[in-house]
DNA sequence: CTTTAAACTTAGGTATTCCTAACTTAATAA
DNA sequence: TTATTAAGTTAGGAATACCTAAGTTTAAAG
């Protein structure tokens, strides 16, 4: 069983790998985890020896199947805790991540299955991210599009939010945006590519940058 | 903030100190935590330097106020988790301890207060042990007596169980003993000082040794 | 009061995970 | 193609927490 640090590295590499454009570098991992490149270089070599990733010096890395399985195991724990903290304990969108970040390393398989059962075997976490099952399989989710691609005049349901910062999550909460919330696209300003959406009775202008964090599915209504 | 290991040592010393007869020795702590005496000796010196305990070489140790505060802080987290795991997630008496032992080190003050609130600011954990409040104050509990001292013919309510082993806790569950359960003392055998109690419709003979783990308050009925 | 055994500490060593500084390799721009 | 810079690795070191083996102190028995 990997240590807490190793789990953090493996998870970070998994997440960096999800961008298919480029391979994962020492610097990427070091930045993400806020440790030195030296520490990363060492750890990557250790994880390579232990079979969690393939690694050629100076050439970047990629997780082995074993590494991916481990990453999904950690991610499962993280997302189940997030959902639990929000739905059961009433933590806010901006609070769940930090707590889950700690708990994900201190939870037995036994306990995670109990939590999963309590929650009714959920498929997504509070951000709409899929929760891997206990075998490491990610559930298939319907396609969704970022707000930038939503069409003016149509109704949409919010199904995914990228948690980029606490500030942003608090802002979303403030304006009434929550998972599965219905939204109408009022208009788009070509001036700055921002989108005006209606949430309940209020309208908000969402900048292009923020739009890229919000994902919707069109609602037939 | 102490590390996980330090918290474990401080908690162990606190628990050993609760026996007022004798002072806490290196060997006591080493046995309790199942580490070498050498490791204990080192750690005790480190904790002494850091103000968590008073220590004179070869002479035993005692926690400072700071040390006691830290111990109670860990114990609070442990007991709140135990209650939560049992009452909310439905874990059994024999399962909660091991899980809480891990979680107690990975829970922020913020989260513990949320759990405490969710549980309605409970005073006792699933074993009837008092839960320190956030300032480290232990609630006053009514006096109780071990089964050995309960009088034949009287009715009692189970208010505390010493968790000596998973096996024992499973046995208690099996015979229907749970916290606040009503029990009638049927008789006591002077031959081996065992006690026969009635739980619901069934009677059980409880050995002297097991009796010392069960604590009751007389019920007026 | 001395011997002996138990209790305790120190010495020396290992593993993990981090650091800075120095050095090496690879990629890029002239 | 070579010089420069960015990326990556190694060297050397620190903190934590453990170990075994050896040495020291205390307490208890004779």
Q: What is the pLDDT along chain B (221 residues), one digit of tens a residue?
A: 899 999 999 999 999 999 877 889 999 999 999 999 999 999 999 999 999 999 999 999 999 999 999 999 999 999 999 999 999 999 999 999 999 999 999 999 999 999 999 999 999 999 999 999 999 999 999 999 999 999 999 999 999 999 989 999 999 999 999 999 999 999 999 999 999 999 999 999 999 999 999 999 999 75
Cβ of residue B115 closer than 8 Å to a chain A Cβ: yes
Find out whether B183 and B155 touch, Cβ atoms under 8 Å.
yes
> What's the first-to-final CA gap in chain A, in angstroms?
48
All residues of chain A having their beta carbon less than 8 Å from the beta carbon of residue B105 are: 106
- A121-166 tens-digit pLDDT: 999 999 999 999 999 999 999 999 999 999 999 999 999 999 989 9
Of chain A, the percentage scoring pLDDT greater than 70 comes to: 100
Using CB atoms, pick whichever of A89, A98, A108 lies closest to residue B118: A89
Is the pLDDT assigned to residue A203 strictly greater than 70? Answer: yes
Q: Which nucleotide is nearest to A42 (CA to C1')?
A: D9
**How far apart (Å, rounded) are the C-alpha atoms in residues B150 and B122?**
27
Domain spans of chain B, in order of start: 4-63, 145-218
* H helical segments located in chain B: 4-17, 26-33, 37-49, 65-87, 96-103, 109-118, 166-174, 208-211
Residue B91: name the closest of A102, A110, A76, A119 by CA: A110
Q: Taking residues A179-208, what's their average pLDDT? A: 96
CB-CB under 8 Å, B99 with A111: yes
CATH fit for domain B4-63, picks 3.90.1200.10, 1.10.10.60, 1.10.10.10, 3.40.50.720: 1.10.10.10
Give the span between the Cα atoms of B77 and B104, in whole angstroms.
5
Q: What is the pLDDT of residue B118?
A: 98
Q: Fold match between A4-63 and A145-218? A: no
User: How much is the CA Rg of chain A, to the nearest whole Å?
Assistant: 19
Total residue count of chain A as it appears in this document: 221
Chain A CB contacts of B110 under 8 Å are: 95, 99
A58 touches chain B (CB under 8 A): no
Backbone angles phi, psi at A131, to 5 degrees: -100, 115
**pLDDT score recorded for residue B221:** 59
Q: What pLDDT, on the 0 to 100 scale, is given for residue B97?
A: 96
- For domain A145-218, give the CATH number: 2.30.30.90
The stretch A8-16 carries a mean pLDDT of 97
Which of the 8 DSSP states describes residue B217?
Answer: E
Going by pLDDT thresholds of 50, 70 and 90, the confidence category of residue A118 is very high
* Statement: residue A221 has pLDDT above 70: no
pLDDT, position B22: 80
Q: Give me the pLDDT at residue A12, please.
A: 97
Return the pLDDT at B24. Answer: 95
Q: Identify, with chain letter, the residue nearest to nucleotide C8 (CA–C1').
A: B58
Average pLDDT over residues A50-79: 96
At residue A188, the 3 state secondary structure works out as strand
R_g (Cα) of chain B, nearest Å: 19
Query: Could you count the other beta carbons within 10 Å of the beta carbon of residue B33?
Result: 17
The 8-class DSSP code of residue B19 comes to S
Sign of the CA dihedral running B83, B85, B90, B91 = negative
């Amino acid at each position: 069983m990997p240590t807490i640090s190793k789990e953090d590295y493996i998870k970070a590499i998994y997440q960096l790998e999800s961008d298919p454009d480029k391979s994962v570098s020492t610097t990427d991992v070091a930045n993400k985890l806020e440790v030195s490149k030296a520490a990363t270089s060492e750890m990557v070599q250790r994880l390579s020896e232990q079979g969690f990733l393939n690694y050629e010096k100076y050439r970047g890395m990629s997780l082995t199947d074993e590494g991916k399985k481990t990453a999904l195991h950690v991610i499962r724990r993280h997302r189940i805790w997030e959902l639990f903290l929000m739905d059961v304990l009433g933590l806010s969108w901006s609070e769940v991540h930090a707590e889950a970040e700690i708990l994900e390393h201190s939870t037995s398989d036994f306990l995670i299955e109990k939590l999963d059962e309590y929650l009714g075997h959920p498929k997504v976490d509070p951000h709409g991210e899929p929760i891997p099952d206990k075998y490491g399989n990610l559930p298939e989710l319907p396609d969704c599009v970022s707000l930038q691609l939503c069409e003016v005049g149509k109704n949409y349901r919010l199904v995914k939010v990228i948690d980029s910062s606490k500030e942003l999550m608090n802002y979303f909460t403030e304006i009434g945006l929550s998972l599965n919330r219905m939204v109408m696209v009022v208009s788009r300003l070509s001036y700055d590519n921002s989108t005006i959406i209606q949430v309940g009775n209020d309208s908000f202008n969402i900048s292009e940058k923020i739009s890229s964090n919000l994902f919707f599915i069109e609602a037939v209504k």
